[in-house]
Amino acid sequence: MKHPLSYLCLGLALCGFVGGCNDDDSPEEPTATATPTPVPTVLPTLPPPSPPPAGNQPPVPNFRITPFPTTGQAPLVVNFNLCPTADPDGDHIVFFFDYGDGTTAQGPPCRQQNTYRRGRFTANMCVWDSRPEHSLECVAFPVDSK
């Protein structure tokens, strides 16, 4: 006589739930049969991956200041030149000059001039590009007008 669990095991095996059963209640290694997947004869061609977006690189400030060093008798006229500045991405560059004495200028133009009264000041020349990230680079230097 067959064991009553044999019918359950047989039913499960037929449904794919059990790898196999036997009548003597001894454990049996499950068996698996794999159905081979046919290999396509023509592989689809995919377009090459697009390069990742390059981040916005900041402009590289290149400047000239005359006189240099910026020291002299008041009123001291200082010429600022950011015209040699370049942007590695080729973006349009905006120039900003903070003379340190309470006055500022923005350009283009890339050349500016300021006349200093007597005192010590810290001038800043800044460049940034036209991308939404606004990569900004600044250069600070002392002005000593005696």
Q: Where are the domains of the chain?
A: 1-31, 64-145
> Which pLDDT value is given to residue 118?
96
pLDDT of residue 33 exceeding 60, the answer is: no
Name the residue with higher pLDDT: 90 or 47.
90
Residues sharing a CB contact under 8 Å with residue 51, sequence separation 6 or more, in sequence order: none
Phi and psi of 95, rounded to 5°? -110, 145
- CATH number belonging to domain 64-145: 2.60.40.10
> Which pLDDT value is given to residue 105?
94
> Token pair of 47, please?
């377009």
Taking CA 32 as the corner, what is the angle to CA 30 and CA 37, rounded to the nearest 5 degrees? 170
Convert the pLDDT of each residue in 78-104 to its tens digit.
Answer: 999 999 998 888 888 889 999 999 999
Closest CA to 76 of 10, 30, 142, 31: 142
Is beta strand 104-107 parallel, antiparallel or unpaired with respect to 119-129?
Answer: unpaired
Q: Give the C-alpha separation, 127 to 110, whole Å.
A: 10
- The reported pTM is 0.59
Q: How confident is the model at residue 10 (pLDDT cuts 50, 70, 90)?
A: very low
pLDDT of residue 138 exceeding 60, the answer is: yes
